[in-house]
Amino acid sequence: MTIEMQVMQVLAPAKINLSLRILGRRGDGFHEIETVIAPISLCDELKIDNKKQGIEFRCDDPSVPQGGDNLVVRAANAFFASTKLKPAISIELRKKVPHGAGLGGGSSDAAATLLALNQLFQTKLTREGLAKLGSTIGSDVPFFIFESAAICRGRGELVEPVKLQKQLPILLAKPEFGVASEWAYSLWQDSRKIPGVSYEVQEFAGQTFVNDLERPVFEKFVFLAQLKMWLLEQPEVGAALMSGSGSTIFAAMRQNVDVDLVAKRACEELDRELRTCACETLEGVAPSAP
């Protein structure tokens, strides 16, 4: 196969879990879940080009692992091993999605890498084939392969694309600290609710919002519970929930409100170091890079 020198620029969108139910612990150590996930317009950016040999990776965020532990590098290695092609790629990653945030940034980067390499090397792997490959890298990777909102089951690798009833304006709010997913899941069964904090199912804009991981995470990180309850008190907010295992709390906003104004109030009243982002859920296929 002859591959012409080519440069691709792709976006890797973050995600939010609109709902996350834990159904029990599995024999393989993972948890059986059912979750509704939506991609959002906050994106990492990847620049990919094929070069003479090897896998070269660079990232503008020094806190991101640069070697074989990085999910982008793992995705590239898995692609070349699966297709039996000689590794010949350079990948540059610009990070905008924070770590430990419950937004799936690393998994999305890995999925975007698989999709781009499949196109760049003209290997014509199906989405199902790429998703199976992605499931060996991380539970959220298959979701991002389908570039759509979806219901995900199993440990997250069983993906059923769906169309959301409405595109939702979203406010993301993340404190400086992150939360480790494995830790949150490990404490789910024995965790307790904090009095005065709402964990109940919310209904807004035709969508159900609930997250079973709020219980263990809020028990240790009480600020996240306070942040959620503060957002629920704001008239511009239709629903508020932790995404995944945190530490991001997101608000589904009402139509035609000033999202940035709510973000400013949150920083002033709760934490001036709070990282906020106004974005929206994406419809259909993820956007192309400019």
Encode the chain in three state secondary structure.
Answer: CCCCCCEEEEEEEEEEEEEEEEEEECCCCCEEEEEEEEEEEEEEEEEEECCCCEEEEEECCCCCCCCCCCHHHHHHHHHHHHHCCCCEEEEEEECCCCCCCCCCHHHHHHHHHHHHHHHHCCCCCCHHHHHHHHCCCCCCHHHHHCCCCEEEEECCCEEEECCCCCCCEEEEEECCCCCCHHHHHHCCCCCCCCCCCCCCCEEECCEEEEECCHHHHHHHCHHHHHHHHHHHHCCCEEEEEECCCCCCEEEEECCCCCHHHHHHHHHHHCCCCCEEEEEEECCCCCCECC
* pLDDT tier for residue 4 given thresholds of 50, 70 and 90: low
Among residues 44, 109, 140, 212, which one is catalytic?
140
Q: Which residues contact 129 (CB under 8 A, 6 or more apart)?
A: none
Q: How far apart are CA 129 and CA 227, in angstroms?
A: 40
pLDDT bucket at 26, cuts 50 / 70 / 90: confident
Q: Which of 100, 128, 161 is the last residue of a domain?
A: 161
Examine the pLDDT at 288 and tell me if it is beyond 50: no
Query: Does residue 116 belong to any structural domain of this protein?
Result: yes
| Percent of the chain residues topping a pLDDT of 70 | 96
Catalytic residue check, 69: no
| In the predicted structure, residue 1 carries a pLDDT above the cut 70 | no
State the average pLDDT for the chain: 93
**Which residues on neighbouring strands pair with residue 94, listed in sequence order?**
45
Residue type, 245: S
In a domain, 290, yes or no: no
Domain boundary residue among 161, 196, 214? 161
pLDDT digits (tens, 9 = 90+) for 131-152: 999 999 998 999 999 999 999 9
The span from the CA of 138 to the CA of 111, in Å, is 10
7-25/207-211 β-pairing:
parallel
Q: Which domain holds residue 250?
A: 169-280
Q: Is 140 a catalytic residue?
A: yes
Give CA–CA dist 247/221, Å, rounded: 9
Does residue 14 sit in the same domain as residue 135? yes
Residues 88 and 175 placed together within one structural domain of the fold: no
Same domain, yes or no: 21 and 145: yes
Count of domains for the chain: 2
Output the pLDDT for position 290: 36
| Local confidence band at 2 (pLDDT 50, 70, 90 cut-offs) | very low
In a domain, 18, yes or no: yes
Q: What per-residue confidence (pLDDT) applies to 159?
A: 96
CATH number for the domain spanning 102: value is 3.30.230.10
Q: With contact defined as beta carbons under 8 Å apart, do 174 and 98 qualify? A: yes
What pLDDT, on the 0 to 100 scale, is given for residue 286?
40
Domain-located, residue 289: no
Q: Which of the following is catalytic: 15, 44, 109, 228?
A: 15
Same domain, 266 and 122: no
Check: CB of residue 131 under 8 Å from CB of residue 271.
Answer: no
Residues 274 and 268 sit within 8 Å (Cβ to Cβ): no
pLDDT in tens, 256-284: 999 999 999 999 999 999 999 999 999 75
101-136: pLDDT as tens digits = 999 999 999 999 999 999 999 999 999 999 999 999
Residue 184 has pLDDT above 90, yes or no: yes
Contact 78, 141 (CB under 8 A): no
124 alpha carbon, distance to own chain's centre: 25
- Based on the fold, state whether residues 174 and 271 are members of the same structural domain: yes
Same domain? For 233 and 251 the reply is yes
